Amino acid sequence: MFREIKNKKILVTGASSGIGAAIAKLFIEHGAVVGLHYLKNKEGAENIQKSAAKGMAEIFQGDLFEENSRKQLVPEFVRKFGGIDVLINNAGACHEYKHFSGITEAEWDKMFDLHAKAPFYLTRSAFVHMEKQKWGRIINISTIATEHAGANNMHYYSSKTAADAFTKGFAKEGVANNILVNTIRCGVIDTPMRTKISGYDEERFLKRVAMIPLKRAGKPLDIARLVLFLASECGDFMTGETFTVAGGE
């Protein structure tokens, strides 16, 4: 299984830690050529690159909050590898738990720059190359917060919801050229990002985990395995779908 992943050209955004790192490592294990995008954690990206065979993983730095980086990342990847087969829009951030009454316009815009503008421009850019080869897979990493909503972090889950919506639009456009586009909504996943959020509290986190039917937080590998599945021939009849990986929530 997954033999067809070998030598596929895979670009993973936010690949230096957490879910992105797990995705990148899993694809490398299956012989893919992987682009490791990162913002600040160069060491994390380099460690993944060192674990790969020579030439099978390359590092791409870019600030997806900025327009130029959003527009240049895919062309840089294509120049390096000669094409792109799979794009995984994973990069994301949640800086603090914040009630909607205190969200500033700048904070709102920043979340949409990262979670809506960036995957839109990256996907649009990747489409050009995938249409020529009449094959492509695009997977957007989202959150179950888009389903449950709430008064806090409205700027975060609203921006993710925008990407959930254009997943379906790109999927409809891609079918003529076998470009399949899907979303994975993550539940509570135990990654370093959670401890970096302003106001993080371990006791509150454990209480949240206790609410999950499977009684544990997810692992980055839980998400990575579904990404691999969708990028492989196993996902050849799936597009425009939203898959939830959340321990039963």
| Catalytic residue IDs | 156
Q: What's the CA gap between 92 and 155, in Å, rounded?
A: 12
Q: What's the CA gap between 211 and 201, in Å, rounded?
A: 16
> Three-class SS of residue 244?
strand
**Continuous H helices in 175-201:** 192-196
The DSSP letter of residue 237 is T
Q: What's the CA gap between 170 and 116, in Å, rounded?
A: 13
What one-letter code names the amino acid at 195?
Answer: T
Q: Is-contact 215 237, C-beta < 8 A?
A: no
Q: Which residue has the tokens 């969708």?
A: 230
Distances (CA, A) of 142 to 57, 72, 174, 217: 25, 23, 20, 16
Q: Is-contact 243 182, C-beta < 8 A?
A: yes
- Report residue 183: phi and psi, to 5°: -120, 140
Helix (H) or strand (E) holding 9: strand 9-12
Q: Is-contact 222 246, C-beta < 8 A?
A: no
5: its two tokens:
């992943």
57: its two tokens:
């993983």
